[in-house]
């Protein structure tokens, strides 16, 4: 498993690229068949063999701060309920009552128990069936066997990972997840949006800086660089660094004092469908939930380890958020356009060049799991 470089090494690689007018390059190019974005059969395989069989980041731990804190949403077309128990442990369950299947919770909140609104069956935070109204009407009911159905759940470095159908294909992968969230990070909130785009096209937009100048000419490009990135892989995951032009100020510092804080944005791809992006005032966890071959729900969790004194008021943070939203809108416009272009019949495959190596890494990992060769 490849270890990620420390910040000082990444800064030095960026400064070298600036001097040489170069960028990181992959060894090979990658051609992804357009049919893989349009096939219902392929989409079903991605859901079943990858998104349900692989540990996926469900939410940040900070979204479940105390006993009884819960978060309910669909993951890989399955209603999932994650809750922090009285013992401090996070557990996730299939979000369905064991009586008639009604969902027990929606959204987020905090509860001492989960009561089905249909008939009142009641479950503890650990998923056990605690109470059945008029239980005498269910002769032979063994409540010990009718608790909520669990899914494999583990907390790693500030993330809650769930695996709906354990296959043992990725236990070692979780050990490589870096400490991106710490106990200092406060949960700021969650936002959801739906886009008319295949989830893989959305993911690809996070994984290369080749588009910065042409797509973000008035937003990101003036403060970043055109096609200048440091890219790394760790297992099926990856990280790409998008440096800001002010990183040149780091030249005056000894290497051991150089920092990435405020000098670049890291985008971590936690395979298969989660991106984590670092910014000066906050950090975003972006979940790409495939709804169909041409629709994706984007769920964004925002966290920050800065207090009001460090931010010096709300105005700088608001400016940063507005700036980021403007760039996000541009990304969504071009990915929608790429989605529409799928139907043109112009391309049999997408050509990803050596600047776009992380996209090839993503598709190679996806294909290996679908083929059953990634165990």
Tens of pLDDT, residue by residue over 273-331, are 999 999 998 999 999 999 999 999 999 999 999 875 555 556 777 887 888 889 999 99
Cβ atoms of 192 and 207 within 8 Å: the answer is: no
pTM of the model: 0.95
Say what the pLDDT of residue 375 is.
52
Going along 164-224, which residue ranges are E strands?
A: 186-195
Domain boundaries 7-53+181-370, CATH class:
alpha beta
- Residue 144 DSSP one-character state: G
> Which residue, among 198, 184, 186, 352, has the nearest Cα to 288 in the 3D structure?
198
Say what the pLDDT of residue 262 is.
93
Say what the pLDDT of residue 129 is.
98
Which of the four pLDDT bands, split at 50, 70 and 90, describes residue 173?
confident
CATH code for the structural domain at 62-166 = 2.102.10.10
DSSP element (H, E) containing 295: strand 295-304
**Per-residue pLDDT at 373 exceeds 70:** no
- Cβ atoms within 10 A of the Cβ of 68, count? 17
> Which residue, among 274, 280, 322, has the nearest Cα to 298 in the 3D structure?
274
φ/ψ of 161, rounded to 5, equals: -105, 140
**How far is the C-alpha of 216 from the C-alpha of 225, rounded, in Å?**
11
The percent of the chain in helix, strand and coil, each rounded to the nearest 5, is: 30, 30, 40
- Residue labelled with tokens 């051991």: 256
Q: How many CA atoms lie within 13 A of 163 on its CB side?
A: 19
**DSSP reduced 3-state for 282:** coil
Q: Parse the chain into domains and list their residue ranges.
A: 7-53+181-370, 62-166
């Amino acid at each position: 498993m490849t270890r990620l470089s420390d910040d000082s090494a990444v800064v030095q690689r960026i400064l070298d690229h600036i001097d040489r007018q170069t960028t990181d390059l992959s060894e090979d190019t990658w051609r992804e068949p357009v049919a893989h974005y349009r096939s219902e059969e392929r989409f079903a395989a991605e859901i079943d063999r990858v998104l349900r069989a692989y540990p996926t980041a469900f939410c940040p731990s900070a979204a479940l701060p105390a006993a009884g804190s819960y978060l309910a949403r669909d993951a890989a077309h399955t209603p999932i309920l994650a809750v922090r128990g009285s013992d401090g442990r996070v557990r996730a369950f299939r979000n369905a009552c064991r009586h008639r299947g009604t969902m027990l919770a929606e959204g987020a909140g905090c509860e001492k128990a989960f009561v089905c609104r249909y008939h009142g069956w009641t479950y503890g935070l650990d998923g056990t069936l605690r109470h059945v109204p008029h239980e005498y009407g269910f002769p032979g009911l063994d409540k010990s066997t009718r608790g909520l159905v669990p899914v494999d759940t583990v907390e790693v470095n500030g993330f809650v990972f769930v695996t709906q159908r354990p296959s043992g294909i990725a236990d070692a992968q979780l050990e490589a997840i870096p400490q991106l969230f710490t106990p200092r990070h406060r949960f700021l909130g969650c936002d959801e949006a739906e886009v008319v785009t295949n989830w893989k096209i959305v993911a690809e937009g996070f994984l290369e800086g080749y588009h910065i100048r042409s797509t973000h000419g008035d937003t990101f490009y003036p403060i970043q660089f055109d096609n200048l990135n440091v890219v790394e892989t760790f297992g099926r995951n990856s990280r790409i660094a998008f440096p800001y032009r002010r990183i040149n100020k780091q030249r005056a510092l000894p290497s051991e004092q150089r920092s990435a804080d405020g000098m670049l944005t890291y985008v971590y791809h936690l395979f298969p469908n989660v991106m984590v992006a670092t910014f000066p005032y906050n950090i975003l966890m972006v979940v790409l939930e495939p709804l169909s071959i041409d629709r994706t729900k984007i769920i964004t969790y925002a966290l920050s380890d800065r207090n009001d004194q460090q931010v010096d008021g709300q105005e700088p943070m608001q400016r940063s958020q507005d700036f980021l939203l403007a760039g996000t809108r541009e990304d969504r416009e071009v990915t929608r356009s790429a989605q529409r272009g799928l139907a043109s019949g112009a391309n049999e495959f997408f050509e990803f060049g050596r600047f776009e190596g992380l996209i090839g890494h993503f598709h190679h990992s996806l294909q290996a799991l679908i083929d059953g060769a990634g165990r």
